[in-house]
Amino acid sequence: LPTAHLQTIWPASFRKQPDIEVTRERVELADGDFLDLDWYGNLDHPLVLINHGLEGSINSHYALPLMDTLHKADFASVFMHFRNCSEEPNRLAKAYHSGETGDIQTIIQHILENYQREVFAAIGFSLGGNALLKWLGESGKSNPLTCAAAVSVPFLLADSAKKLGSGFSQLYQWHLLRSLKQSYRKKFSTIEPPLNIRVEKLNSFREFDDKVTAPLHGFQGVDDYYQQSSSRQYLHNIQVPTCIIHSQDDPFMYQDSIPNKNEISEHVEMNISKRGGHVGFISGALPWKPAYWHEKVICNFLKRHRTFAD
């Protein structure tokens, strides 16, 4: 497809979903909250953890197709919903954010303790990719994964917020902000809101993150949140083979947000395309027969490292 916006909007609006059934598991957390997981595939196969993007869920256009593709390549998968992103609001005031890595670690440990299974790989999309890369960099050599992949990551959160507040990209900001506000109202219809704000008055990501995301999650403000949570500063310390897939025309961020070679570790492979939009990556001349090439790249990468692991 010819433009970044078509690449971004087409799959979100028209991608055909596979007819597969996942198995839901609710994981009770030590802090009294919960996380919902969706499982699919043969658990005798290597297990892949999937992290979604902002306001994503198992219903995101990329979720079930990727799980189906992984199944056909002899991988099992488990889709992790961040707090407040499955059908039921989470119990605590806090929810999730771009730098939340503790819950990823918790789920990895949960699977090891309850299933006696190591997670072979993790794949993160957009916000989930940012959190995944940050976790990989934070944990360094102690990270338990064999490999990882991240797609359409907002490496610099402040730049991404600025980009989404300009031009046609404001359409995505409007759509996602509307969802964030709805989630906030639904969540705090059942528990006492800790913030004295009117979310309907917040008109940009920067405003929402300053008035909601940052105070709910212990940051000093939006700049502190963006600085601490941006993944680009962690890439040099990644010790696990990691495949990053990104497009130069991603409408969620500026091209110069893409990290330079001297900022990434030797274990990181950068797959940068000229076209692909944000979590689009559609190839083929006919939009009614699209091929989503990022899935092929990811599967080939996982297969290569499965062979190494064997």
Q: Active-site residue numbers?
A: 126, 250, 278
Q: Where are the beta strands (DSSP E) in 132-241?
A: 147-151
What residues are paired with 79 via a beta bridge? 38, 50
CB-CB neighbours of 308 under 10 Å? 10
Q: Where are the beta strands (DSSP E) in the chain?
A: 23-28, 34-40, 47-51, 76-80, 119-125, 147-151, 242-247, 268-273, 282-283, 291-292
What residues are paired with 124 via a beta bridge? 51, 150
The backbone torsions φ and ψ at residue 281, rounded to the nearest 5 degrees and listed phi first, read: 55, 50
Q: Which helix (H) or strand (E) holds 176?
A: helix 170-187
